[in-house]
A = this chain, B = another copy of it.
Amino acid sequence: MKRAILLVDHGSRRAEANELLEEVAECVRQRVPDQVVAIAHMELAEPDIGTGIDACVGAGATKIVVHPYFLGPGNHTSQDIPQLVRSAAARYPGVDIAISPPLGLHERIVEVILERVEAAAKP
């Protein structure tokens, strides 16, 4: 079974915002080199979610976990993204596609906050 992770952010008209997700994907790839790691934007930019699912399947994945790269839950993570994923998944009945929760509250994110704050607090 080949696994894939599809990182999905909101999508932006600003290229820099969309590029951040590519950088995140590259870091994820380094951590799980045995998995396919692809990206998609929910809206406003390409690749869209259907194209992202296509890329995962095209790379041989038979199990895909879609990760909404959002700070917290909301309509996008609970409704919009699942609907777009379901629509794409219908084309691949043999592929197991799950959706993870967004980042949410996590001790490690609190550590990142404190690191950013400390760096800014230095005189």
Contact = CB atoms under 8 A, between A and B. Distances in A.
Interface of A: 3, 5, 7, 9, 12, 14, 16-17, 20, 23-24, 27-28, 31-32, 63, 65, 67, 69-74, 98-117, 119-121
Number of copies: 2
B121 A14 contact: no
B121 A112 contact: no
Contact of A120 (B9, B31, B101, B120): B101
Given A28-B113, A69-B113, A106-B115, 20 more contacts: A3-B121, A14-B74, A16-B72, A16-B73, A16-B74, A17-B72, A20-B71, A20-B72, A28-B110, A31-B114, A67-B117, A98-B120, A100-B116, A100-B120, A101-B116, A101-B120, A102-B116, A103-B109, A106-B112, A108-B111
- A-B pairs, 10 with minimum CB distance: A100-B120, A108-B108, A100-B116, A20-B72, A27-B110, A98-B120, A65-B117, A106-B112, A65-B121, A65-B120
